Amino acid sequence: MTARIAAAESLAAGLPKLLMAAERLAHVAAPGAHGRRRPGPGENFWQYRDFRDGDDVRRVDWRRSAGADRLFLREREWEAQASISLVLHDHAGMDYRSAAALPSKRERAILLLLALASLLLRAGERVALAGKTPPLTGNAALRTLAAAFINGGMARIDPKSRVIAFGDFLEAAPVFYAPPGGAVVQVLDPAECDFPFSGRCIFDGFAHEPEIEAARAEDWAAAYRARIAAQREAVVQAAQRAGQTALFHRTDAPPAGALAALYQALSAA
């Protein structure tokens, strides 16, 4: 676990702290560390404004008002905190790797997930592992998150938090239920994308499906590639329908690229 955290942190170290756009977090009620660039409850000075009728007299800033002939109020910046749920869509097929040198899809997904969590935590965000941990803050929370992968856990899912989902999403007709503003990261093995098999092959799945025999596997390659492309398209469509950003990652590609794409998707706008 320590090695996994170290890998994730070293991956995340390459990117600046991830700060979500305040506007994208407007609906989040809980106050937090995000400066929302508008007056409200907070700790940092925002602006002085003239006293208006109906304002509480106790809020008058007498020191500022003494230097002029008007009354001023001291306003603070409204700070809010994002809550982000990270989800790993896990099943037996995630164990797949086509070559010993490649990581399995699960390993890669967890690496990306923890790297993202590390970035978010350093930015002061509240990060939860959906269904397993409550929203957590602080750098030390990364260990708790990683431990939850191994030990499991039970926690209420915050329905309003943004969701970033990792998985291979190979099921028929993928659907995403999440508040808009999240992201969907599809992680696939290169063999699943390219179908590099030839000759007589017998295919066997992870979930006790019946075996499928191909007399000449190379004949199937074109048809398969069309199907996998359609599947990826279906994932993108479903994500867009749910207001999510769809991202794609192959396990033979460097993980830093995927993290950079995630960073851009979350901090954009």
Partner 1 sequence: MIFLAPWVLLGLAALPGLYFLLRLTPPAARRIVFPPMRLLSGLPQAERAAQRMPLWLLLLRLCAAGLVILGLAGPALHPPAALPGSGPVLLVIDNGWAAAADWQPLMDAARQVVGSARHAGRGVAILTTARDAGGGAPVIQGVMTADQAAQAIDALQPLPWPVDRPAATAALRNAGEGTRIYLADGITDGASFSEFMKALNPARIIAAGRDKNLLLPPSFNEHGQLVAHAAGAAGLSVLAETATGAVLARAAFSKSGDAGINLPLPLANRVGRLVLEGPASAGSVFLLDSGTHGSLVGLAASGAADTPYLGALFFASRGLPASSQVITGDLASLIAEKADVIILADVVLSQAQQQMLSDWIAAGGELIRFAGPLTANMPDGLTPDPELAGDRRLGGALTWTRPQSLAPFPAGSPFAGLQVDGGTTVTRQILADPTRLDVGTVWAALADGTPLVLGKPVGKGVLVSVLTTANADWSNLALAGIYPALLERLIGLGARVPVHRNRVLPMLQALDGFGKLQPPQPGVAGVSARDADQIAVSPSQPPGFYGIGAAGLALNLGGHVALPVAAVLPAAEPLGTPRGPEDFGAALLLAGMWLLALDLLISLWLRGLLRWRGAVAALGIALVLQSPAQAQVPPGNVPPAALQTQLAYVRTGDPQTDQTSADGLGYLSALVSARSSAQLGPPAGVDPARDNIDLYPLIYWPVLSDAAAPSGKTCSALSDYMQHGGLLLIDSQGADAGAPGSGAGFAPGAQTALSRATSCLNLPPLEPLTTANAIAHSFYIVPSFAGKFVGDPVLIASAAARDVDGVTPVIIGQNDWAGAWARDANGDAEQTPLPGGEDQRVVADRFGANLVIYALTGDYKSDQSRLPAFLDGLSQ
Of the candidate spans 44-52, 142-150, 170-178, 253-261, the one that interacts with partner 1 by CB under 8 A turns out to be 170-178
Instruction: Write down the least CB distance from residue 230 to partner 1, Å.
Output: 9
**Spatial CA neighbour of 262 closest among 70, 114, 89, 46:** 114
Block residue for tokens 């090695």: 3
Of the candidate spans 32-40, 120-128, 177-185, 188-196, the one that interacts with partner 1 by CB under 8 A turns out to be 188-196
Q: Which residues of 58-88 are buried (b: 16+ CB within 10 A; e: fewer)?
A: eeeeeeebeeeeebbbbbebbbbbbbbbbbb
Residues 122-161 touching partner 1, rule: CB under 8 A, are none
Other CB atoms within 10 Å distance of the CB of residue 48: 14
Block residue for tokens 């191994």: 150
Instruction: Write down the least CB distance from residue 116 to partner 1, Å.
Output: 24
Query: From the list 123, 224, 234, 238, which residue makes contact with partner 1 (rule: CB under 8 A)?
Result: 224
Site for partner 1 (CB under 8 A): how many residues? 34
**Spatial CA neighbour of 94 closest among 236, 194, 189, 211:** 189
Report the C-alpha gap between 74 and 50 in whole angstroms. Answer: 9
Sequence-distant (≥ 6) Cβ neighbours of residue 237 within 8 angstroms: none
Please tell me whether residue 173 binds partner 1 under the rule CB under 8 A: no
What is the torsional sign of CA 101, 104, 108, 114? negative
Query: From the list 29, 68, 172, 269, which residue makes contact with partner 1 (rule: CB under 8 A)?
Result: 172
Please tell me whether residue 191 binds partner 1 under the rule CB under 8 A: yes
Please tell me whether residue 175 binds partner 1 under the rule CB under 8 A: no
Dihedral, 264, 146, 206, 231 alpha carbons, nearest 10: -10
Site map (CB under 8 A) of partner 1, residues 20-59, x = contact = ----------------------------------------
Of the candidate spans 45-53, 60-68, 194-202, 245-253, the one that interacts with partner 1 by CB under 8 A turns out to be 194-202
Instruction: Rank residues 3 and 207 by Cβ distance to partner 1 and give the closer one.
Output: 207
Q: Which residues bind partner 1 (CB under 8 A)?
A: 93-94, 96, 100, 168, 170-172, 189, 191-192, 197, 199-207, 209, 212-216, 219-220, 223-224, 227-228, 231
